[in-house]
Each structure stands twice: as C-alpha cells, then as structure tokens.
C-alpha cells in the first residue's frame, strides 16, 4: 500500500511537472506569435519570414502533412514526390497562418488549462480580438527536444480534420495522385 | 392543430426512414467518426445547391450583412443576436425535456424568463447570474434518441444539414411555442436566419478564400460542430496525425 501511494504520487507529480513545462512553452511561444502578429512595422516579406520561422520551429509539419494524405499514399509515392509535397504543404501552412494572423490584429491569447491524453497535450486557450473571442485548442506533442503543434482547433473546428477531408477528396478524385494534390495546393 | 399533426407524421416518416437504413461509414453520434467519409449520396445535387446558395449570398445576402455589420454598433449587433437567441430558449426547454436533461431544461426556461422580463432578451443577464446558455435543438434530440444522421444535404438558402437535423428543424418550426404565437412568423424566421448569417460572416469569408474545395470544407465543419454538441469529450476524441520524426 505504501509503495502504491508512492508510485501514484510520483506519477501525479510527474504529470503536473509535464503540464507546467508545456504551459511555460505555450506562454512563451504564444507571446512570440502575438508579438509578430501585432507588429506591423516590418515589410510584408520581413513579416512573412517571421511567420515562417515560427511555423518551422513550432509545428510538427511532417506529421501533419503525412497524416493528411494517409499511409497508403505515402507508401506508393516516390521519395522526391513526398519531399516536394512536404515543401509545398509547408509553404501552404505558413501562408494560411500568415493570412489568418494578418486579418486579425490586436489580439491576446489566454491560457486556460492543459489536459493530457495518450501522450498528447491539449492546451485550452482563449483568443480575444477587439470585438469577439474564441476558444482555441492546441494539440501538442513532446518530441524529446521540444514541443510541436499537431493540430489547432478553433471553437470546434479542427484544422487537421478539415484539411484531411479536403485533401482526401482531391486524392479520391484523382485516383490517389499526389502530383494532382500538389498542383491543387499550389493553386490555393 | 392540423400543422402539428403534419409535423408528427413527418417526423415519424423520417425516423422510420433513418432507423431502417444502416450506415456503416458514418454515425455522427459516436466517437471515431471518419470525417472524410461522410455519407453523401446526393453530392452532385448538393454541390449544385451550394453553388446556388453562394450565388444568392453574393448578390443579395452578403451585401446586406456587410452593410449591417458596418452600420450597426457592436452593442446593437450583440443585442439583436441575444434577442433571437432568447426566442429559441422555449424550444430548447422542450428539446432538453425530451432528452431527459431536466436541469438544462429548467435552466433554459429560467434564462428565457429572466432575459425577457429584464430586456426583452436583448441583454443576457441570466449568464451574469450563473445561468449559462446551453445549445440544443430537435436534431440533437433525435441523435440522442438513436436516430442516425442519414445523408448529408444542402438546403437551398438555408445551407448544410442532414436528413435527421432537417427533420428536427421541420418539427421545431411547427412546435416552437414562440413562432407559433406570432402573427407574421415568416418575418421572424427571416430575421433569425439573417442573424445566423451575420454570426458566421467571418468564417464564411475564410471558407471563400482558404479552401481548395469549399463544399468539402463546409461539410466537414458542419459535422464537426454537430459532433461537438453530441460528444462529451469531443476535442479529446478528434483524430490526430500519426507522429513522424521531424
């Protein structure tokens, strides 16, 4: 019984420690994001570069990109096709975040709480704009050396789920051709 | 009375239709939903209706909404939104009652009473005293009763739905205690519809510019939002990508 209590206490304190670590990371990165978002002084290309480095640093781009097309497509695609897809998708993700951030200024992000399920941290936050606010959830993994975002959920809409529906439709329509998907992504 | 009878007949018909069919791919009321394989046998028709809806929106509704948003000060916009939301509290009360959610049912009628008597529903005082708004409708009631969602449908002017939720909307139209006791209920329905359109204006703008296939995007968003109303741990249960070494 004594050992069990020690074990439970150990697990519990470990979880708290992990949650506080991820909270710290989140506070730091979200502040940095807001700084970029609310700073309109640089040129368009300078600002774009800032978003680019933010996305490259904090998003699990490969996991998201591969998750969107699924195992079957990955297996049947050639290496050069996959690396081109990854490159095009990264650019698309940066542009999406850049556009989203540029259409909303003067925001604040407030951390609400952190939950852990199957080694994935679910960070609940609230983003407030001048007129409105929205619940913003971040699904984050610990890669060992850093934390990486695998999904962003605005109110109830998941970026990953929505894009997966869109990409799957394009792939189904084009008999699983990754090349066609790349062309479509470039068009957006 | 005649209208009520028609509504009951219709819902019985819809329920039979949906229960009798088994859809192995998608059931919005349970977790593990495959969002990219939503049951959509009417896709060609739905796509045509969606294009029609966007056309109507572009030429008529969107300009009205944009003008309204430009002219109306924020408190007015919020007040109008609260007013229409408050009118739905009685039907929410009935829906929660059917779902066996007695506390929420009581909360809804309490909210209606407080907000109507203090500000005709334009100010949400009830929330300030701890009576938070809970969203529900007859579609949710049917889902909780085990009725499967049926095929995805896009309704002219109104927008995305599925057979179950549309059935729920039809029932609501006939049994809603508020709109049944208003002289020109059509105006109320138009006002409520326009208010809902105002509320999703920013999201709709994003769909227009950030999507490779707006039909798929809207369908996915619709089901995600409905599932969020049905599942307790919706956010936790959303699919996530397999992790690759970055």
Per residue in A41-81, pLDDT tens?
A: 777 788 888 889 999 999 999 999 999 999 999 999 999 99
Q: For chain A, give the mean pLDDT.
A: 85
CATH of the domain at A120: 3.10.450.710
Q: What confidence score (pLDDT) does residue B32 get?
A: 42
Please name the residues in contact with B124: beta carbons below 8 A apart, sequence gap of 6 or more: B82, B85, B86, B111, B115, B133
Alpha-carbon dihedral angle through residues A171, A175, A180, A182, given to the nearest 10 degrees: 40
pLDDT in tens, A117-150: 888 999 999 988 776 788 999 999 998 888 999 9
Q: Which residue has the tokens 């990219």?
A: B36
Q: How far apart are alpha carbons B117 and B222 in whole angstroms?
A: 34
Q: How far apart are alpha carbons B228 and B235 in whole angstroms?
A: 8
The boundaries of the domain holding residue A154 are 2-187
The full set of domain ranges for chain B reads 1-18+48-71+149-231, 73-136
Residue B44, pLDDT > 70, answer yes
Which chain B residues have a beta carbon less than 8 Å from that of A167?
A: 212
Domain count, chain A: 1
Interface of A with B (CB under 8 A): 60-64, 66-68, 71, 96, 99-100, 115, 117, 120, 122, 131, 137, 139, 141, 143, 148, 150-151, 153, 155-158, 160-162, 164-170, 184-185, 187-188
DSSP-based three-state secondary structure for B52: helix
Q: What confidence score (pLDDT) does residue B23 get?
A: 30
Question: Which chain B residue is nearest to residue A156, measuring alpha carbons?
Answer: B225
Q: What confidence score (pLDDT) does residue A14 get?
A: 55
Q: How far is B180 from chain A (nearest CA, A)?
A: 32
Q: For chain B, give the mean pLDDT.
A: 84
Question: Which chain B residue is nearest to residue A93, measuring alpha carbons?
Answer: B210
pLDDT tier at A108, thresholds 50, 70, 90: confident
């Amino acid at each position: 019984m004594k050992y069990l209590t020690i074990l439970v206490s150990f697990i519990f304190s470990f979880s708290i420690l992990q949650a506080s670590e991820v909270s710290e990371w989140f506070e730091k990165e979200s502040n940095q994001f807001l700084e970029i978002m609310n700073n309109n002084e640089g040129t368009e290309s300078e600002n774009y570069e800032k978003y680019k480095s933010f996305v490259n640093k904090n998003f699990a781009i490969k996991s998201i990109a591969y998750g969107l097309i699924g195992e079957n497509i990955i297996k049947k695609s050639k290496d050069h096709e996959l690396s081109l897809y990854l490159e095009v998708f990264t650019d698309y993700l940066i542009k999406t975040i850049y556009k989203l951030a540029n259409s909303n200024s003067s925001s604040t992000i407030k951390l609400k709480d952190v939950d852990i399920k199957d080694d994935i941290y679910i960070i609940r936050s609230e983003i407030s704009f001048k007129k409105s606010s929205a619940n913003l959830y971040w699904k984050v993994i610990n890669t060992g050396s850093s934390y990486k975002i695998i999904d962003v959920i605005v109110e109830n809409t998941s970026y990953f789920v929505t894009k997966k529906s869109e990409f799957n439709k394009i792939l189904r329509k084009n008999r699983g051709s990754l090349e066609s998907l790349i062309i479509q992504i470039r068009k957006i | 009375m005649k209208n009520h009878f028609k509504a009951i007949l219709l819902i019985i018909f819809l329920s039979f239709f949906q229960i009798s069919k088994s859809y192995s791919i998608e059931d919005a009321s349970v977790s593990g939903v495959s969002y990219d394989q939503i049951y959509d046998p009417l896709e060609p028709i739905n796509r045509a209706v969606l294009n029609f809806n966007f056309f109507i929106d572009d030429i008529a509704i969107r300009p009205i909404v944009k003008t309204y948003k430009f002219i109306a000060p924020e408190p007015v916009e919020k007040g109008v939104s609260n007013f229409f939301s408050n009118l739905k509290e009685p039907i929410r009360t009935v829906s929660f009652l059917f779902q066996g959610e007695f506390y929420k049912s009581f909360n809804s009628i309490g909210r209606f009473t407080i907000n109507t008597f203090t500000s005709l529903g334009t100010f949400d005082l009830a929330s300030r005293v701890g009576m938070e708004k809970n969203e529900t409708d007859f579609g949710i009631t049917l889902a909780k009763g085990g009725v499967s969602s049926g095929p995805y449908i896009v309704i002219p002017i109104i927008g995305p739905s599925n057979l179950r939720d549309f059935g729920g909307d039809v029932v609501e139209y006939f049994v809603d205690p508020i709109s049944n006791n208003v002289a020109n209920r059509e105006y109320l329905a138009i006002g409520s519809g326009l208010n809902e359109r105002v509320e999703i204006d920013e999201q709709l703008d994003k769909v227009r510019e950030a999507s490779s296939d707006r039909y798929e995007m809207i369908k996915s968003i619709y089901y995600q939002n409905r599932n969020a109303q049905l599942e307790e741990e919706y956010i936790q249960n959303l699919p996530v990508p397999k992790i690759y070494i970055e």
